[in-house]
Amino acid sequence: MLARLVPHPLLTLSLVVVWLALVNKVTLGNVILGAGFGLVIPMLTRAYWPDRPRVRNPRMIIEYTLIVLWDIVVANVQVAMILLFRPEARINSVWITVPVELTSAEAITVLAGTITMTPGTVSATLSADSAAILVHTLDTDDPDGVRDQIKTRYERRLKEIFE
């Protein structure tokens, strides 16, 4: 019964938080209206949602999040140093094909999003068979090292979380 009323609890909670941020005032009325949106919108869109992703190791999500946040901070500093102090002619942009061993659509989506959120890298496309992601790096002399870093720091942990 609860699953029919709240088919996607995280979406419901997110909608309440987003609504409160939009109205910029936390009152009982705004919380009730946000909760209404949070209950009605997921119920109306339930037919368009795939099954919930299966998380095998929820504790690994914390480790993954901390690693990604650290990598984002480090990459921000690296990109700032490149843009501020390196001549444009010495920037070595490279396209890299990263083979993907993940089978879960959710895990592949998180991997592509992680690559894109990290400054200096962008996931450009996923192959038709979901076996590889094309990644653009702002500057690297070691494309194999970037590929290995993506596979060991991100993909390995996502396998532990989702598969």
Q: Do residue 112 and residue 154 come from a single domain? A: yes
Q: Which two tokens stand for residue 54?
A: 């299966």
Q: Do residue 38 and residue 107 come from a single domain? A: no
Q: Do residue 125 and residue 85 come from a single domain? A: yes
Residue 7's pLDDT band, with cuts at 50, 70 and 90, is confident
Q: Per the domain annotation, does 53 fall within a domain?
A: no
Q: Per the domain annotation, does 43 fall within a domain?
A: yes
Q: Residue 4: is its pLDDT beyond 80?
A: no
Q: Per the domain annotation, does 19 fall within a domain?
A: yes
Strand order in the sheet with 132-137: 94-99, 132-137, 121-126
Q: Per the domain annotation, does 12 fall within a domain?
A: yes
Q: Do residue 103 and residue 31 come from a single domain? A: no
Q: Residue 163: is its pLDDT beyond 90?
A: no
Q: Residue 81: is its pLDDT beyond 90?
A: yes
The pLDDT tens digits for 100-139 are 999 988 899 999 999 999 999 999 999 999 999 999 999 9
Q: Do residue 12 and residue 64 come from a single domain? A: no
Q: Do residue 148 and residue 122 come from a single domain? A: yes
Q: Per the domain annotation, does 54 fall within a domain?
A: no
Q: Do residue 73 and residue 146 come from a single domain? A: yes
The pLDDT value recorded for residue 44 is: 87
Q: Do residue 87 and residue 141 come from a single domain? A: yes
Residue 1's pLDDT band, with cuts at 50, 70 and 90, is low
The pLDDT tens digits for 98-107 are 999 999 888 9
Q: Do residue 70 and residue 136 come from a single domain? A: yes
**Which DSSP symbol is given to 55?**
P
Q: How many structural domains is the chain composed of?
A: 2
The pLDDT value recorded for residue 54 is: 79
Q: Which two tokens stand for residue 111?
A: 């991997």
Q: Residue 3: is its pLDDT beyond 80?
A: no
The pLDDT tens digits for 18-59 are 999 999 999 999 999 999 999 999 888 877 877 767 788 888
Q: Do residue 150 and residue 85 come from a single domain? A: yes
Residue 121, domain extent: 59-162
* Contact between 96 and 63 (Cβ < 8 Å): no
Sign of the four-CA dihedral 103, 14, 59, 70: positive
- Owner of token pair 């790096």: 137
Mean pLDDT of the 46-73 span? 87
Q: Do residue 106 and residue 85 come from a single domain? A: yes
Q: Do residue 63 and residue 42 come from a single domain? A: no
Radius of gyration of the chain (CA): 20
